[in-house]
Amino acid sequence: MASILKVDTIQDQSGNNIINESGDTITIGASGDTITVPTGASLTVPSGGLSGQNYPAFQVNRNNVSQSIPDSSSTKIQYTQRVFDTDSAFDITTNYRFVVPSGKAGKYYFYGQCRVDSSGDFSRWVSMIKKNGTTVSEVNIRNEDEESVTNSVIVDLADGDYVEHFVFQNFGSARTIFGDTSRTYFLGYRIGD
């Protein structure tokens, strides 16, 4: 014979809530608790059933405004428009960088792409993703005419670390990265601890 147990709260012997239901929200555990799914057991969540698993997340672009890149100079791309920014962690007005919010340290994936105008032969374009001012990923291209250069990396970040996208060119004079929103952009998101 089946039984039904009807309660709003289940507590441990010390009086701490283990499971609580209030206003159609079920809370399992309390702040500081660890909830574990044992080896051999499985947890199934329907598509779209979780939220916040890859946050913070952002994508920024140049809003269709080109940027001049001086010759033989490593130059930060000034991303001035947010496509989205879940934690308002990308500065689009002053420093043009992503800063890890408090409590959001972990492994992050970043991808940067810019469309460059070489206007003929050039020596090279370099795309750099930098963590706290130090290059953690670099991609070089040598070509002519217009070209998109892409770069991606996974890095460990602590609270307050920052990540920026730079380019370098040594054509002999200033060159342009196009502000085309579909070809010059930078994005990133947290992938876990």
pLDDT tens digits, one per residue of 37-88: 888 888 887 766 666 678 999 999 999 999 999 988 899 999 999 999 999 9
The rounded distance, in Å, linking the Cα atoms of 25 and 35 is 17
pTM score of the predicted model: 0.77
Break the chain into its structural domains and give their ranges.
1-35, 57-192
Whether residue 103 has pLDDT greater than 70: yes
The confidence band for 6, taking pLDDT boundaries of 50, 70 and 90, is: confident
The answer to whether residue 169 scores a pLDDT higher than 80 is yes
Q: In Å, what is the CA distance from 150 to each residue of 1, 29, 47, 110, 147?
A: 64, 43, 30, 11, 10
Mean pLDDT in residue range 134-158? 87
Residue that is written with structure tokens 């990133």 in the block:
188
| Closest CA relative to residue 177, chosen from 121, 116, 129 | 116
Q: Outline where DSSP puts E strands in 67-124.
A: 67-69, 73-76, 81-85, 98-99, 106-117
- Tell me what pLDDT residue 80 has: 95
Enter the CATH code of domain 57-192: 2.60.120.40
